[in-house]
Structures are given as C-alpha cells and as structure tokens.
Structure 1
C-alpha cells in the first residue's frame, strides 16, 4: 500500500482550487453573457435574417435572397439617404469639433465665472432631444417663428423664409439644430482631456520658446488625440443612427432633401414591409464597421 506524499497532494488540491475559481468566474459572467446574447446578438442576427426575406407584419415571410437590397439600390430615395447621411455626419462632426475644441480651450483658462459658463454650455445636451428639436421647429416656422421675427425686426431680411420647407435651406437648418444639440458632448470630452495633459509639458515648451500655436500642435493636440478619436466614433454612430433630429424637423423632406437611413427604415416599417426596412438598416453596417475599425486602428497605433 502506497501513501501519497504531501508533495503529490499539493498540486492536485491547487488544481481543484483553480477549477473552483474558474467556475465561480464563469458563473459571475454568465448572466451578463446571456443578457448580451438576448438583447444584442439575437436581435442583430434576426434583423440580418429578416433583411433577406419578404416578411411583412402578420406573416412569416419567405427567403428571397438579395431582392430587398436590389430593390433599394434602384430607388432614388435610397441614394439620397446615403448622400444625406454621409453629408450630415461629416459636416456636423466637423462643426462640433471646431466649436467644442474652441470652447474647451477657452473654458480651460482661468476665467472668472467659468463654472457657470460650463453649466450653461451643457444645457443643450441635458435637454431631451424631443424637446430640443421641437423648439427648433418652432423657431424655424415661416410665420411667427423666432428666426424670421429676428430677421424682420432687425431689418436684415424683410421676406419670409420657409427654413424647413425649402430644399435650399432644409439641410442647413437640420445641421444647425443637430450641432447645437450635440456640441456639448464634444466640449466636455475635450475639456476633460485638456485637464489631463501635464502642465510640465507646457512649461517645457515655454522654456524652448514655443508660441501658442506651436504649443497647441506639439502638446495639446497629441494629448487630446485619443479622446477626439473616440468622440468622433461615438458622435458619428449616434448621428448616423439618429432619428429624431430629422423626423421632428423635416421628416426627410422636402423631396428627400434631408432623407437619412433611419427615417427611410421607419417609412418601411410604416408600410409594414419589415424585410425592406431591415435591409435599409443592414446597408449601414459595413460603413459603421469600417468607421469602428479605422478609429480602433488609430488608437492602437497611438498606443504603440
């Protein structure tokens, strides 16, 4: 009869203890994993499947391959939605970056009352989107709207401008309201990044004789680069998937001048063509995936 030595028993006990720890870790992660699979993975996969069917409300639908995508590609409204979505994302993100960066650099200085100024700048972001865009819709009204009243009372322009009902002004009106609603997010993100930049770098740049512009490109820009990349990514996704800023102002009109992907998908839901509406959403996936991969590669390159 052989008796196991303590040296042989100790590794076995350690393995059993390690297995218990791993099982406990899996048990802690399991609820979150199931929640993600149920609320994200399943609806995501189901939407992709539905986009390849002719499903309408009240029926299961049959598999029709790429018929929905081919039908959308033949519609002028679809191509208008592509162009308008890209245009709104690029222009609004550029304006939000310029406004948010400028205000962040200003508030970052030791100015009197800057705490109150920060709070006031966050009001557009704190306001519910529904209330914000309905307020802008009232301001854009051709008769009795605040903007036209200011123009006529000050003598700048005596005529009546239908800001949301004219193709020449509808897109600009949507962009202005969207920038006003979204720039505080850029402002607070960049301001937080500025506060994390070591002051020693600015002092060293001053000793080297750098001016304000050189300090910005040599110290400030590298210090806030990663925050700006993440903010661009989040803002682009939110704007591309945004619905209320277009629907509450123009509903995609006039004549598809402000039509975007979410509104086009909503029109598909209104006509009960679930498969076509899902195909519109699936069309956006490659563009957003490329944007995510590009932003991630830039961040990883900075870390390297």
Structure 2
C-alpha cells in the first residue's frame, strides 16, 4: 500500500498579518501618534479652523448676507480710534486682574484650610466644588435674584441692619455692576483654585514641615520657605488657565448685564458678540475678538518661560 508523503503545514496568512500589525503597534512612535490622533483632529476641527477663519474674517469688511471685501488691517485701525474699544479694553483688564487676584488669594486660603485635619473635611471638600460644577446659566439666574433692585436679598439684609436707607441697583450702576460681576466670577472660580492648589499641597511631605518645626520655623516661615516654593509651579499653571478662561468669559457677563449699563461691563467677548452677531458686522466682530490676542500671548509666553526657569 502506497504511503503519501507528509505535507508541510503552511502558516496561516491571518496569523502573519496579526504579527505584522502587532509589530507596528509596538513601535513607540506609531502608537503615540495613534493615541494623539483623535485629539489632534479634534483641535484642528474645533480650535485651529475657527481661529484661522477668524483671522481671515478680521481682514475683511464682511457683513451678514453679503460677500466680504478684503480691507487688510482697516478693521483694527478703526478700533484703535474707537472710544468704546478703549473702554472695553479697560473693562477687560480690570475684570481679569481683580478676579484673578481674588481667586488666587481666596483659593489658596481655602486650600490651606481644607488641607487641615478636622471633622467633616470630606463633606466640606465636596461642597467646595458646588459653585464650579453648577451650570453657569443656573447660577446666574440665582445671582440675578440676589442682585435684583426690588427683590434683592442683599438689599433687604442691609436695610434691615440699618446700614443703608434704601436698596441699591447693583446691576444698574456702572461701578456696582462691574463690582457685582467680579464678586460672582470670584465666587464661581475660587473652587477651581482651591481644589487644584489642595492637590498640590497634598504632595508636600510631612517630613519637610517636621524638619522646619525642629529648626524653630514659625507657621508663616513654614508657609514661605516650604509650602510656597513647592506649589509655585501649580500656582503659575492655575493662574494661566484662570486668566485664559476669564478673558473669554461670556455667559456670566452677558446674562447678568448684557455689557451695560452704557458699556460699563462690556468685555471683548461680549462686545464682539454684539458687533458680529447682533449688528451683523462679522469682520469687525472678528477683529474685536482677536484684539486681545497679543496681550494674552505675551502673558502666556512670559508665564511659561518663568515656569521653565524655575
């Protein structure tokens, strides 16, 4: 009886393809780009494209339902001679500077308190986040009632305490309206500082504080020479993010004051919306939105270089 020769088993093509794919994925560069790809595409679609299209619009005399005419830097030249533009610039820098300082000092104090051991600390930390996680529209409605000239609970308390004879119009007076926005923004943004700085404080080893105490350092000296140097990078990063968010603040201001009274609370974001969307001057609105970019870029680059040097 004839015996057939044994046939050699051939490797399955599918197994070969799998090993090739595994080899490609195991390359660090390829795998890194695969992970970064979705995020990069998202940034290109929703950040880079609108940004460069905004630059293109700012160089045109573009209005709603009409073709744009290239005018170069004429929109920016017009803004430079507009008194309202300089008022909005002043409003923006005052709003950003004061709220940033208040949120920084208040958030740092909040983090130092939350870092101590006391009963109910975890519950207090949870409540700390409430102003930050509540939707802006919802919290703004509550503040509209708190600051209402007729039904304001603040006015009621001040009148009952005999501090004032009659209630104030917090959102109808130019100075009080800006002050009210600063208070609301600080109330809403302080938890972001507090929680972020608290995370930084918890990275500090207790051995450092014990060594400082043995050397006779007071609580102020321990904060100055132990706590502050360690959390300084966190302070810089959180300040940079806060400045960026505050420069672009729109919902809170527009819901409370609509930029009034008499442009007293208009910032770049709200004024750009009024010009671009309500007045239909898309080119001028884009120019207003981009006018703050140089100052913001200088600030971010300066903070970044300072952080690298440290």
**SS state at 2:61 partner:** coil
Q: Distance in 2 between matches of 1:113 and 1:85?
A: 39
Which digits, 9 at most, give the CA deviation of each residue in 1:96-147, with x for residues without a partner?
1111111111121111111111122211111111111221111111111111
Quote the residue 1:97 is aligned against: 104
The structure 2 residue matched to 1:66, chosen from 66, 73, 77, is 73
Q: Distance in 2 between matches of 1:25 and 1:185?
A: 30
The structure 2 residue matched to 1:242, chosen from 236, 249, 273, is 249
Q: CA deviation at 1:18?
A: 7.9
Q: Do 1:84 and 1:257's aligned partners in 2 also have CA atoms closer than 8 Å?
A: yes
Quote the residue 1:191 is aligned against: 198
Return closer, same or farther for 1:209/1:290 CA change in 2, 3 Å cut-off.
same
Quote the residue 1:297 is aligned against: 305
Q: Distance in 2 between matches of 1:38 and 1:239?
A: 23
Which digits, 9 at most, give the CA deviation of each residue in 1:229-251, with x for residues without a partner?
01100111101100012111111
Q: CA deviation at 1:154?
A: 2.1
Between the two proteins, the alignment pairs up a number of residues equal to: 286
Q: CA deviation at 1:37?
A: 2.2
Quote the residue 2:288 is aligned against: 280
The answer to whether residue 230 in structure 2 is matched with residue 231 in structure 1 is: no
Q: Do 2:240 and 2:300's aligned partners in 1 also have CA atoms closer than 8 Å?
A: yes
Q: Distance in 2 between matches of 1:100 and 1:20?
A: 44
Name the stretch that deviates more: 32-41 or 183-192: 32-41
Q: Do 1:174 and 1:246's aligned partners in 2 also have CA atoms closer than 8 Å?
A: yes
Q: CA deviation at 1:30?
A: 4.4
**CA-atom RMSD in angstroms:** 1.8
Q: Do 1:101 and 1:190's aligned partners in 2 also have CA atoms closer than 8 Å?
A: yes
Which digits, 9 at most, give the CA deviation of each residue in 1:157-210, with x for residues without a partner?
121210110123111111111111110000101111100111111111111110
The structure 2 residue matched to 1:201, chosen from 205, 208, 226, is 208
Q: Distance in 2 between matches of 1:19 and 1:193?
A: 35
**SS state at 2:70 partner:** coil
Name the stretch that deviates more: 279-288 or 151-160: 151-160
Quote the residue 1:82 is aligned against: 89
Q: Do 1:133 and 1:248's aligned partners in 2 also have CA atoms closer than 8 Å?
A: yes
Quote the residue 1:257 is aligned against: 264
The structure 2 residue matched to 1:48, chosen from 44, 55, 61, is 55
Q: CA deviation at 1:25?
A: 5.6
Please list every run of 5 or more consecutive structure 1 residues that lacks an aligned counterpart in the other structure: 1-16
Return closer, same or farther for 1:52/1:179 CA change in 2, 3 Å cut-off.
same
The structure 1 residue matched to 2:118, chosen from 104, 107, 111, is 111
Which digits, 9 at most, give the CA deviation of each residue in 1:259-285, with x for residues without a partner?
100011011121111000000111111
Return closer, same or farther for 1:112/1:78 CA change in 2, 3 Å cut-off.
same
Q: CA deviation at 1:34?
A: 3.4
